[in-house]
A and B are shown apart, each in its own frame.
Chain A
Amino acid sequence: DQQVKQNSPSLSVQEGRISILNCDYTNSMFDYFLWYKKYPAEGPTFLISISSIKDKNEDGRFTVFLNKSAKHLSLHIVPSQPGDSAVYFCAASDYGGSQGNLIFGKGTKLSVKP
């Protein structure tokens, strides 16, 4: 039962262009969403988060959009840089009902080409 789905296993983008990573979820109780970036042989690194009371959160080149009615969120990276090449995980939690245990998607491998 995949509560958090990242349907694109990989994405290739040219440097300077926008990268859009998508994530869908099924559990309507989720109220907090996070994006993590992971390089090989390292742990996931927190990137950006969004609460369900918002529909957009921006931090520098990274913007997360949340569409609650569609149970969909996306991460936009503008402009994309070669150093952004990594696996990106979407994660969700129902903080109201738990200690914040995260449910992760399978990840999308982003390759940014110079």
Chain B
Amino acid sequence: EPEVTQTPSHQVTQMGQEVILRCVPISNHLYFYWYRQILGQKVEFLVSFYNNEISEKSEIFDDQFSVERPDGSNFTLKIRSTKLEDSAMYFCASSMGQNYGYTFGSGTRLTVV
């Protein structure tokens, strides 16, 4: 069964450093998403991406965050200057479109120290 692949599985970074979280969505999917889950809290929407541009973003997704689909297969989330409160599990997801369930990756655990 096709999978969404995320790397790395765990990233530790110093506060103020830039991090890039990588995702390889399912190849025939058209919609791509990033979600995050702070420990003990709910899964929160960050951003959706379609047709090579951001289609929607949440209040969490401020100027420190950016997304790219640099080569038609990877989908990346960049955090420019990490803060302690960015520590969370970050999930990438992809979907064929409306009325289809999302397929999530296994997540990247980001720890900011």
Residues of chain A whose beta carbon lies under 8 Å from any beta carbon of chain B: 32, 34, 36, 41-46, 49, 51, 89, 91, 95, 98-107
17 contacts between A and B (CB under 8 A): A32-B98, A41-B106, A41-B107, A43-B4, A43-B105, A44-B102, A45-B104, A49-B101, A91-B43, A95-B98, A95-B99, A99-B31, A99-B48, A101-B45, A104-B35, A104-B42, A105-B42
* Cβ A101 vs Cβ B99 within 8 A: no
* Cβ A32 vs Cβ B99 within 8 A: yes
Counting from the closest, the 10 A-B pairs by CB-CB distance are A43-B104, A46-B101, A104-B43, A106-B42, A99-B55, A99-B48, A95-B98, A44-B104, A101-B45, A43-B106
State the total of A-B contacts with C-beta under 8 angstroms: 67
A42 and B103 CA atoms in complex are apart in Å by: 12
Dominant secondary structure of chain A at its interface with chain B? loop
Dominant secondary structure of chain B at its interface with chain A? strand
Candidates B4, B6, B50, B58; contact of A99 at CB < 8 Å: B50
Number of B residues with CB within 8 Å of any CB on chain A: 28
Candidates A34, A44, A51, A107; contact of B91 at CB < 8 Å: A44
A41 and B10 CA atoms in complex are apart in Å by: 11
A41 and B55 CA atoms in complex are apart in Å by: 28
* Cβ A43 vs Cβ B107 within 8 A: yes
